Amino acid sequence: MKIDEVTAGVECVRRAGPDVEVAGVEYDSRSVGAGSLFVAMRGGSVDGNRYVADAVREDATAIVTDSAAAFDEVVQAYPQIAAIEVRHGRKALAQLAANFFHHPEQKLALSGVTGTNGKTTTAFLLEGLLNQAQRKTVLVGTIECHVAGKVKPSPHTTPESRDLLELFDEGVRAGVTEAVMEVSSHALDQGRVHGLPFDVAIFTNLTRDHLDYHGTMEHYFHAKLALFDGTLGQPPRVAVVNIDDEHGARFALRAREAGAEIFSYGIETGEFRAEEIRMRTNGMSFRLEAPHGAAEITSRLTGRVNVHNLLAALAAALARGLTLEQVAASSASLPCVPGRFQTVDAGQPFTVVVDYAHTDDALRNLIALAREFVQSSGGRVLTLFGCGGDRDKTKRPLMGRAAGEGSDFVVLTSDNPRSEEPEAILRDVLPGLEATHCEFIAEPDRARAIALAVGAATAGDIVLLAGKGHEKTQTLRTGTIPFDDVSVAMTVLRERRKQG
């Protein structure tokens, strides 16, 4: 493809060098090959402009940069290379990749899910509803990606635009017509989804998280809002908004002002409501009241938070043209999501649950759900949790308070400490936990901590292993190691059973 075709619509500041053929668009110099166009852009922790020489050594034919100095260097040192300076590296990457992959985003109906909690579950549920209506899908999310049923690894909640568009292109070639994706606040703020024409945008909730990146809740709010207010280029056709959340009304207002149709949902308010809710440990049912009519909904999911997730997915599916009869018939067979209230059963007389809850709000909701389930048995809630390293430190005592206020016993341990010392993270959590006067122990080794939590359980109790959910690794200062809460818990349970 000629470089003029690849750069069509890109806001260029300066341009120099020959008219070249482009065989690929890359932002990682390690992926550059002969004929590649390398996009050198400033990131949060790495400046891609440092790797221009590496890209040239790998036979790149064009460099697009967001640095005036890098542009000048390319023009002087590599006159055989096409050089282009742009104002915004990530927005340029999105347009360049869209052009190179022949705009697959325009051949798909895109549904985006954003919010602090519930993105993964809502996206999985919506994809399941679409699949059962015989629609082929791409799913992009935290746990994994799907392309027409084929499972692929997911390095980020929302990939860089180039990787996302390649995934869409693969989907289009496989006959996919719908894409469902989790859209993180980082991706929205950084322009990774710039220019994508979302047909349906879903807001789940907004609670304290990622303030190490966004700084304030208001900045965090506005990052999420970009999916609804036309900041990406155009507003969604339909905005599905959790009106039970305190921020929901603001999202609905801004989306409506931008021209979107609003589908509001909630347990007691909204156009899509859940009434006569009946909870069990292995599922739930409720009557869906909607503008389309009423229907009985049955699900293998449970808990109030999953009522909201299911309402969001049902409303979004209806926005995508499914009928009320279709979504009601499909709800009972929708899959559970790995690491989201996932039970670990080795025949023990108590319940062990693995869940991704990693914010104080999510932890509080998880513990409240567990409390509902042990009320009849008189059992206890035993909660294991930790806080991630190199992330917002201000939420650590809040996590401690949430765990201590709702639990009968807490095991404080490591999550992914990353470059931080695990003991230092635990010390940050302790003020909130100690203020609740809940009985607790601290054990930084997560495997030993799981053994302690499970070992403390008796008949009728529920043990919550919170924070890592579906993750299969743990990131330490010394590197990343294999670690799976489900596998560790199962091993502990089997060993306990052997010992009688």
Asked if residue 278 has pLDDT above 80, the reply is: yes
391 is in an annotated binding site: yes
Residue 375: its pLDDT value, please? 86
Crossing angle of helices 119-132/304-319, nearest 10°? 50
pLDDT tens readout for residues 319-345: 999 999 999 999 999 988 889 888 899
Residue 320: its pLDDT value, please? 98
* Dist. CA 489–CA 308, nearest whole Å: 29
416 is in an annotated binding site: yes
Burial per residue of 135-158, b for 16 or more beta-carbon CB atoms within 10 angstroms, e otherwise:
bbbbbbbbbebbbeeeeeebebbb
Asked if residue 211 has pLDDT above 80, the reply is: no
pLDDT tens readout for residues 419-455: 999 999 999 999 999 999 999 999 999 999 999 999 9
393 is in an annotated binding site: no
**What's at 44, amino acid-wise?**
G
The answer to whether the beta carbons of residues 145 and 153 sit under 8 Å apart is yes
Residue 49: its pLDDT value, please? 96
Crossing angle of helices 119-132/324-331, nearest 10°? 110
192 is in an annotated binding site: yes
Q: How many residues are listed for the chain in this entry?
A: 500
Residue whose C-alpha is closest to residue 373's, from 352, 388, 404: 352
| Confidence class for position 368, pLDDT limits 50, 70, 90 | very high
111 is in an annotated binding site: no
The model's pTM is: 0.86
* Dist. CA 238–CA 235, nearest whole Å: 8
Which residues make up the CATH 3.90.190.20 domain(s) of the chain?
Answer: 342-498
117 is in an annotated binding site: yes
Residue 214: its pLDDT value, please? 67
* Dist. CA 418–CA 116, nearest whole Å: 21
CATH architecture of the domain with residue range 342-498: Alpha-Beta Complex (3.90)
Residue 34: its pLDDT value, please? 97
| Confidence class for position 243, pLDDT limits 50, 70, 90 | very high
**What's at 458, amino acid-wise?**
T
* Dist. CA 448–CA 414, nearest whole Å: 11
Is residue 418 classed exposed, middle or buried when 0-12, 13-18 and 19+ CB atoms within 10 A define those classes?
A: middle
419 is in an annotated binding site: no
Instruction: Out of 21-30, 356-365, 424-433, pick the least confident.
Output: 356-365
* Dist. CA 433–CA 417, nearest whole Å: 19
- Taking CA atoms, 460 is separated from 219, 294, 364, 378, in Å, by 44, 37, 20, 7
Helix (H) and strand (E) counts for the chain? 17, 24
pLDDT tens readout for residues 152-194: 988 777 789 999 999 999 999 999 999 999 999 989 998 889 8
Strand-pair category, 24-26 with 36-40: parallel
115 is in an annotated binding site: yes
Is residue 31 classed exposed, middle or buried when 0-12, 13-18 and 19+ CB atoms within 10 A define those classes?
A: middle
418 is in an annotated binding site: yes
pLDDT tens readout for residues 85-105: 999 999 999 999 999 999 999
Asked if residue 281 has pLDDT above 90, the reply is: no
* Dist. CA 453–CA 40, nearest whole Å: 48
Residue 208: its pLDDT value, please? 67
Residue 210: its pLDDT value, please? 72
State mean pLDDT over 56-63: 97
415 is in an annotated binding site: yes
Asked if residue 251 has pLDDT above 70, the reply is: yes
**What's at 338, amino acid-wise?**
P
Task: Find where tokens 């809630």 sit.
Answer: 381
190 is in an annotated binding site: yes
Instruction: Out of 55-64, 367-376, 388-397, pick the least confident.
Output: 367-376
Question: What fold does the segment set 103-331 form as a domain?
Answer: UDP-N-acetylmuramoyl-L-alanine:D-glutamate ligase (3.40.1190)
More confidently predicted of 375 and 224: 224
116 is in an annotated binding site: yes
Residue 207: its pLDDT value, please? 85
CATH of 3-99, one of 1.10.287.130, 3.30.70.3340, 3.40.1390.10, 1.10.10.10: 3.40.1390.10
Asked if residue 302 has pLDDT above 90, the reply is: no
High-pLDDT (> 70) share of the chain, %: 99
More confidently predicted of 373 and 468: 468
Instruction: Out of 50-64, 360-374, 387-401, 459-473, pick the least confident.
Output: 360-374
Which residues make up the CATH 3.40.1390.10 domain(s) of the chain?
Answer: 3-99
Q: What is the mean pLDDT of the chain?
A: 94
* Dist. CA 8–CA 319, nearest whole Å: 33
**What's at 438, amino acid-wise?**
C
More confidently predicted of 500 and 114: 114
302 is in an annotated binding site: no
Residue whose C-alpha is closest to residue 403's, from 467, 448, 344: 467
Which residues make up the CATH 3.40.1190.10 domain(s) of the chain?
Answer: 103-331
Residue 44: its pLDDT value, please? 67
Using CA atoms of 320, 323, 329, 332 in order, give the dihedral in degrees to the nearest 10: 30
**What's at 179, amino acid-wise?**
A
**How is residue 476 annotated by DSSP?**
E
State mean pLDDT over 209-234: 86
Residue 455: its pLDDT value, please? 96
The answer to whether the beta carbons of residues 194 and 93 sit under 8 Å apart is no
118 is in an annotated binding site: yes
State mean pLDDT over 315-320: 98
